[in-house]
Chain A
Amino acid sequence: NAGVTQTPKFRVLKTGQSMTLLCAQDMNHEYMYWYRQDPGMGLRLIHYSVGEGTTAKGEVPDGYNVSRLKKQNFLLGLESAAPSQTSVYFCASSSLPGTVAYEQYFGPGTRLTVT
Chain B
Amino acid sequence: GENVEQHPSTLSVQEGDSAVIKCTYSDSASNYFPWYKQELGKGPQLIIDIRSNVGEKKDQRIAVTLNKTAKHFSLHITETQPEDSAVYFCAASKGWAGGFKTIFGAGTRLFVKA
Contact A50 B103 (CB under 8 A): no
Q: Does B81 contact A (CB under 8 A)?
A: no
- Number of residue pairs spanning A and B whose beta carbons lie under 8 angstroms apart: 60
Q: Does B95 contact A (CB under 8 A)?
A: yes
Across the two chains, which residue of chain B brings its CB closest to A38?
B106
Q: Does A41 contact B (CB under 8 A)?
A: yes
Contact with A along B99-113 (1 / 0, CB 8 A): 111111111000000
Residue of A4, A98, A103, A108 near B95 (CB, 8 A) is: A98
Contact B46 A103 (CB under 8 A): yes
Instruction: Assign chain A's interface to a size class.
Output: 20 to 34
Q: Does A13 contact B (CB under 8 A)?
A: no
CB-defined contacts of B99 to chain A, threshold 8 Å: 31, 48, 50, 56, 97
Can you sample 20 A-B contacts with CB below 8 Å? Answer: A40-B9, A41-B106, A42-B4, A42-B104, A42-B106, A44-B104, A48-B99, A54-B98, A56-B98, A90-B43, A94-B100, A97-B32, A97-B93, A98-B100, A103-B34, A103-B46, A103-B49, A105-B46, A106-B44, A109-B42
